[in-house]
Structure formats: C-alpha cells, structure tokens
Amino acid sequence: MARELISSKYVHEQAEKIWQRGDLHRTFLENSVCFPVTISLPSWSSKVLLTEFPAVQEAIYSLNEQSKKHDFTISHHVVNHRQLGEQKIPSAIVFETETIFLRFLRHSDEFSEFKTLAEKTLQRFPALKNWLNRYPFKLMNFAAVWFSLLAVCDYFEQHPRPDFYIRQLDIIGVDTKFIENHKAILTDILDVILPEIARDLTVTGLSHHGFERRYGLRYELPQIRLRILDKRLAVCGLTDLTLNLLEFNRLELPINTVFITENKVNGLAFPHVENALVIFGLGYAVDLLVNARLLKNVKIYYWGDLDSHGFAILSRMRGYFPQTESFLMNRETLTKFENLWVNEPENKAVTHELANLTAAEQAVFKTLKTHHIRLEQERLSYGYLKISLQKRHQIAP
C-alpha cells in the first residue's frame, strides 16, 4: 500500500488530473503563471512505516530514480520513529517548470498545438477567449478540423442568417457533409461570436433541424398530405396534395370542415364530403398545424385510434384548436367493435393526465387505460364510417 502511494504511477495520475483541469491552458490564455506545481504525497502512520518498511525503502529508491529521469523535485519531511530512528520520507513532488511537467506527462506536443490554435483563433475571434478558458479540450478534440470550423464561423459572421440550404454555402475547403457532421461544436462557437439578431434564441437543440432554424438556414420542410373531399373544390383538377409546411400554412380553400386522421389508408379512402378535406398521417406531429390559416375558422374533426395515444393527440389538437371535435372515438364505437379490441401494453400507454378532453372522452380514456385495450381506427368498417358521416355531413356526389 505504501509503495503504491509514492509510485511513479501515483504521481502521474495526480499530475494528469491537474492537466485535465485545464490549469495550464487557462494560465496561457491569461498570460499568467502556474508553476511550480506541487503534488502532495500521502503521509503514513508509524505502524505502516514499521510493517512495510522494506516496501517503503524500495518505493523511495524508485521515486528518486524517477526524479533523476524526469527532473522533478522531491520534498521530504523527517520522521523520528521509535524503532526505525530518523527517516527521511517524501512528502511532495514539485514540477518547477512547464517544460518538466509536460515532458513527464508526454503532453508537450499537444500543448504546443493548443497554444498555436488558440493564438490564431483569438486573432480572428477575440470573443472566444472566455469560451476557450472554459472548454480548452473542446478545441483539442477538434484540432484536426479546427480551421475548417473557423472558416464556417467566418462565413456566418459575414453572412448572418443567409437563407440558403447548407448545400449552397460556398466556403473554401468545407463541404455539406462537414457542416452536417459538426453542428454541435459549431453551435457552441457560433453562439459566442454571432450577435443575438443573427440567432433565433427560441430554438434549442439540434433535433427537427434546430441548427438550420437557429442560424437562418433553409431546410427540408415537413410535408402535409391532404385530400380535398369535394371534387368541385379541386385545385387545377387535383384533390390529393402534398405540400411543404410553409405552403400548407398559406393555403386557403373555400371549405368549412376539416377531418384529421392518423391512418394513411383511411385518409386515402375517406368518403367525399361537401366543402371538406382530410389531413392524414401526422400522428403526434399535429403540432405542425398550429399556424395553418386553413384551420382557423372551420369545424375540425379528429379521428384517431381508440387508445391512450389517440386521446393524447386529440387533447393536443384541441389545445391548439379548441373547436376540434372527436370523430368515432366514443363509447358507442368502442362497444360496437368489441370483437376487434387488442391489448395496449401498460408500459407503452399514456400515463399523464389529458387536460383537453370532454367528460365523455375522459370516461372512454379511463376505460381504455383501466382495461389496457385499444381499437385501431382502420379496423372499423367502411360502411360504419359512411353512416356516421351521413348523420352530420352532406356526402358529396
């Protein structure tokens, strides 16, 4: 035990901890000094000295040899032991200079590279000094591509919110794949060097094209698929349309009713209804509809699975559009098709409360959760769908 606590391995581990704290990097950036660096060695009890004396002597000899090899200094203290007499015991290791410390850890080349990269970085982007102070090893993790990253930063500084696809950015030595593969570190740097006006601070994270949205780039927009259920309202003869989100948000049609259903085939086979259309295939992505002009002043019917997730989506949809009514998600439908129920695994069911359900919907939702059952919308007969529609709507010719 005693031998291990003054071994070269122990000293190396403690010195590496100092290196990993980034103390040397920060003192370089601040043009200050952190040497000499002292590493204290554990003290031993008289009992340990006596019982492990041969091992202690061997460890001290080995440490002295390492000191000669690596040029670090050993500080000692004197112990007067009853049985062993006066003993000179190592108490600390001292690295007098940066050169000795780095050579011992074999980090000389790495630190030299850090200093070169940091100096050139701060010449171009002085604002990154505090960031480098906090994250010196992030720079080193990307040392091989660092100047390419700075080239991207140069571009965004000169062309804030460029309104191009990444593929269109003309940056020497940088291709589309490079930016795609380095979005996280680029976000770190761009957030420091770009003014707030060049960043959308409401966008966080990289999911759902977060990088593109935050820095004003174009990206492939989500697609909304719909069918116009009244052929008289066809657009240039077309009734089955797929629009990107921006186009859909601007869409205006002389309709008064919108159906929303999850299942694609249900959307494709939905009966013709006067002055109506059906949107399908979104699932939880009904959030995308929130800014649609088309949905502001129309009747909305949501038709989802009779399961906990179907009601969760209904609740979410009604949160955006309070006029939303459920369609074929009642107890009558659930009971009529009891033979088609399947199990909804408890570990996959919605567990949180749904705030935007009516009392009747809440009752059905509770039944589904209590009995762990679900009735998928595509299991309902087409005839039942048409009859249900005829009760409320004029089916178009």
**If phi over 0 gives left and psi between -120 and 50 gives alpha, with beta otherwise, what is residue 106?**
left
**Residue 301 pLDDT exceeds 50:** yes
Which whole number is the average pLDDT over 1-24? 81
Question: 249 and 346 share a domain?
Answer: yes
Residue 73 pLDDT level (bands cut at 50, 70, 90): confident
Residues 208 and 265 in one domain: no
Residue 30 lies in a domain: yes
Residues of the chain with pLDDT > 90, as a percent, come to 73
Residue 269 pLDDT more than 90?
A: yes
When the pLDDT of each residue in the chain is averaged and rounded to a whole number, the result is 90
Number of structural domains the chain divides into: 3
Q: Specify the higher pLDDT residue, 52 or 371.
A: 371
Considering the domain architecture, whether residues 195 and 289 belong to the same structural domain is answered as no
284 lies in some domain: yes
Q: Is the separation of the CB atoms in 293 and 249 below 8 Å?
A: yes
DSSP per position, 252-310? --S-SEEEEES-HHHHHHPPPBTTEEEEES-GGGGGGGGG-GGGTTSEEEEE--BSHHH
Q: pLDDT value at position 66?
A: 84
Question: Is pLDDT of 2 > 50?
Answer: no
Secondary structure element (H or E) that encloses residue 38, with its range: strand 37-40
Angle at Cα 130 formed by Cα 125 and Cα 132, nearest 5°?
Answer: 75
Q: Both 321 and 236 in a single domain?
A: yes
**Residue-range definition of the domain harbouring residue 38:** 2-106
Assess if residue 257 is contained within a domain: yes
Contact present, 292 and 246 (Cβ < 8 Å): no
pLDDT 10s digits, 277-292: 999 999 888 989 999 9
Instruction: Please say if the pLDDT value at position 210 is more than 80.
Output: yes
> Which of residues 166, 188, 214 is at a domain's end?
214
Stretch 60-64: mean pLDDT? 79
Q: What is the pLDDT of residue 63?
A: 80
**pLDDT exceeds 70 at position 6:** no
Summarize the confidence of residues 142-163 as an average pLDDT: 96
Q: What is the pLDDT, as a whole number, of residue 390? A: 86
Residue 365 forms part of a structural domain: yes
Question: Has residue 85 got a pLDDT over 60?
Answer: no
The closest of 201, 112, 215 to 160, measured between CA atoms, is 215
Q: Give start and end residues of each alpha helix (H) in the chain.
A: 2-5, 8-21, 23-29, 46-51, 53-70, 98-105, 108-124, 129-134, 136-141, 146-158, 176-181, 183-193, 210-214, 245-250, 264-269, 308-320, 331-336, 359-371, 382-392
For residue 376, is pLDDT > 80? Answer: yes
| Cβ-contact 125, 193 below 8 angstroms | yes
C-alpha span between 213 and 202 (Å, rounded): 9
> How far apart, in Å, are the Cα atoms of 358 and each of 185, 273, 305, 313?
47, 26, 17, 14
C-alpha pair distances (Å), 49 with each of 20, 46, 75, 353:
33, 5, 18, 66
Please report which confidence band the pLDDT of residue 53 belongs to, taking 50, 70 and 90 as the band edges.
Answer: low
pLDDT-derived band of residue 60, with 50, 70 and 90 as boundaries? confident
- Dihedral angle computed from the Cα positions of residues 344, 346, 352 and 356, in that order, rounded to the nearest 10 degrees: 20
What is the pTM (predicted TM-score) of this model?
0.68
- Mean pLDDT across 260-275: 93
Same-domain pairing of 371 and 314: yes
> CA angle at residue 162 from 158 to 166, to 5 degrees?
110
Q: Residue 396 pLDDT > 60, yes or no?
A: no
What single-letter amino acid sits at 253?
Answer: L
For a pLDDT cut of 70, what percent of the chain falls above it? 91
397 is a domain residue: no
Q: Are residues 270 and 351 in the same domain?
A: yes
What are the tokens at 176?
A: 């589309």
Domain shared by 114 and 100, yes or no: no
